[in-house]
Amino acid sequence: MYTDTFEVTSTTGLAEREALPLTLYPNPASTAVWVDFGEPVSAATQLSLLNVNGRVLRRQAWNPAGSAATLRFELSPNLAEGVYLLRVEQAGRQNTARVVVR
């Protein structure tokens, strides 16, 4: 049997991305949900509403002027009650939050 000792001095791989700060309200919601980024947004933002199977139900692009920190995301009127995911992507960062529809 052969054994050896080695030391890892550095690693190479994908860098961890900082999560995009995100607060949703009201939650549960029925017609719309407000997305609060906590600070003014200056980068193009893509929002996607997904069902629990990952199917995209609705997309919304937002190109803010840099002074708004919140966005109203309209839910489809025929959306069934249940749990959905809202994925937000912006400048290489992303976050996903759960949305309960009643």
SS (H, E, C) 69-82: CEEEEECCCCCCCE
Range of the domain at 51: 23-101
The structure tokens listed for 55 are: 């199917």
Number of domains in the chain: 1
Position 9 scores a pLDDT of 55
What is the C-alpha separation between 92 and 1, in angstroms, rounded? 47
pTM assigned to the model: 0.80
CATH code, domain with 92: 2.60.40.1220
More confident residue, 27 or 39: 27
Position 46 scores a pLDDT of 96
Q: How confident is the model at residue 20 (pLDDT cuts 50, 70, 90)?
A: confident
Q: How confident is the model at residue 35 (pLDDT cuts 50, 70, 90)?
A: very high
What is the C-alpha separation between 39 and 72, in angstroms, rounded? 15
18 in any annotated domain: no
32 in any annotated domain: yes
Position 18 scores a pLDDT of 75
The DSSP element (H or E) to which 97 belongs, if any, is: strand 93-101
4 in any annotated domain: no
The DSSP element (H or E) to which 89 belongs, if any, is: strand 82-90
Residue-wise pLDDT for 51-91, tens only, equals 999 999 999 999 887 778 899 999 988 999 999 999 999 98
What is the C-alpha separation between 8 and 86, in angstroms, rounded? 39
For residues 24-40, give the mean pLDDT: 95
More confident residue, 18 or 98: 98
